[in-house]
Amino acid sequence: MTNATALFIALALLLFIVADVALNDGDALVFLARRMVRLVAGLAFWR
């Protein structure tokens, strides 16, 4: 991955986070965090 690609992905991610907080009060971030916790718990179970 080139530096330009990494910078683009980082800026896009930051833009999506700021937009979510501004428009949805961070509901999508909370949803994704909860799903990630469920995924990690499921992976830990099958390990």
Q: What is the mean pLDDT of each run of 10 residues along the chain (47 residues)?
A: 96 96 95 96 87
4-to-9, 16, 33, 43 alpha-carbon distances in Å: 9, 18, 27, 33
Q: Look over the chain and give the mean of its residue pLDDT values, rounded to a whole number.
A: 95
* Residue 45: predicted pLDDT: 82
Sign of torsion over alpha carbons 13, 19, 25, 28: negative
* pTM summary value: 0.72
* Residue 46: predicted pLDDT: 82
Contact 20, 28 (CB under 8 A): yes
* Residue 1: predicted pLDDT: 87
